[in-house]
Amino acid sequence: MNATLMKRLFRVIHFGSNADVDSLCRRIVEEQRKQGHARVAQELERILKDKPPEDIAPSTGALQRLPTSRRDSAPLVQDIPVDKLRHHMVLPDVVERRFHRIEREFAARTRLAKHGLKPRHRILLYGPPGCGKSLGAERLAWSTGLPLRKVRFDTLLSSYFGETMANLRKVFEAAQASPCALFLDECDTLARSRTVCNDVGEITRITNALLEMLESYTGDGLVIAATNIDSALDTALFRRFDEVLKVPLPGIKEISQLLKTTLSPIETDVAISWHDLSLAMDGMSGSDVVHVAQSAAKHCVLEGRQRVGDEDIRRALAEIHERHQAC
């Protein structure tokens, strides 16, 4: 760790610390001394003896509260634990590079700031259902180390005049104060095009409010929005994002990778024709491909067999086709 950064972090931790943190600070001093970093250890020890400067407020030790609705105090966001975040994606190379660029820029945000540059921090993901937009939001949160907070539209939206905008403002204020990956799934719920919408009242005001909040957001986290129907979005919304990224349906290569990855916990028959199976699934969403693979694996286990075969996968594929036809 850079010595200057270590001192800065050490000072903030110490002046808002309890006895346990103070003990940890002293342990770090000893560790630095053992590693031969005598000068750094000496400077850290001096910080422990200093009085806190005025620009560092003592910590209350309280966790940041989640925003709640004004009427019934219901939580407006859902916190998704880090250990529940999915982060493995199978994407075309060009899309993978764009995701990776967002992650690299966030990691290098301090370096970019020295040159007056800002990382991409307002991301719009769009594409057909099941293509991986929610998975993309989880991946970005996991890769950046940010807590993922998913907006709950069931509590955010209100039939009372002005309450939806007030709830939305609370959500953005909380994201501004406490860095996170704020996820607005199906954001077309809030940002319907003002030119095609029949309601020129409350819906227009909500869209305008969302545009203003996106424009003024300067937090240290990410705002990630997702939609299935980009044509229904207000065109002004696209200009509020630093990155507008289409998440496509998987191609033949990606389908094959998805099948193999999903079936990796169980043995597969060497005679499986991955290419032929992928061709048979061409046009399917990534979530459907994963569902087919999981169904094949479960059928194999229930039958008491050790290996998934070509027939297991084709059976599961036929079942999902039947389900879609029934819908």
**70 lies in a domain?**
no
Domain termination site, one of 228, 246, 264: 246
Instruction: Output the pLDDT for position 168.
Output: 92
Residue 311 in this model has a pLDDT that exceeds 60: yes
Number of structural domains the chain divides into: 3
**Helix and strand numbers, DSSP H then E, in the chain:** 14, 8
Q: What's this model's pTM, rounded to 2 decimal places?
A: 0.74
Mean pLDDT of 215-221: 92
Confidence class for position 61, pLDDT limits 50, 70, 90 = very low
Same domain, 93 and 242: yes
Same domain, 115 and 234: yes
What is the span of the domain harbouring residue 224?
Answer: 77-246
Confidence class for position 55, pLDDT limits 50, 70, 90 = very low
Tens of pLDDT, residue by residue over 262-276, are 999 999 999 999 999
Q: What CATH number is associated with residue 286?
A: 1.10.8.60
Same domain, 102 and 173: yes
Same domain, 87 and 230: yes
Residue 301 in this model has a pLDDT that exceeds 60: yes
Tens of pLDDT, residue by residue over 198-211, are 555 677 888 888 98
| Nearest alpha carbon to residue 9 among 34, 23, 28, 31 | 28
**316 lies in a domain?**
yes
Question: Quick one: 55 exposed, middle or buried, by C-beta within 10 A (0-12, 13-18, 19+)?
Answer: exposed
Judged by average pLDDT, the poorest of 74-83, 101-110, 138-147, 311-320 is 74-83
Q: In Å, how far from its chain's centre is CA 255?
A: 23
Confidence class for position 48, pLDDT limits 50, 70, 90 = confident
Same domain, 45 and 85: no
| Nearest alpha carbon to residue 223 among 142, 121, 153, 76 | 121
Residue type, 305: R
Domain termination site, one of 187, 216, 246: 246
Dist. CA 308–CA 301, nearest whole Å: 9
Residue 5 in this model has a pLDDT that exceeds 50: no
Dist. CA 48–CA 13, nearest whole Å: 10
**54 lies in a domain?**
no
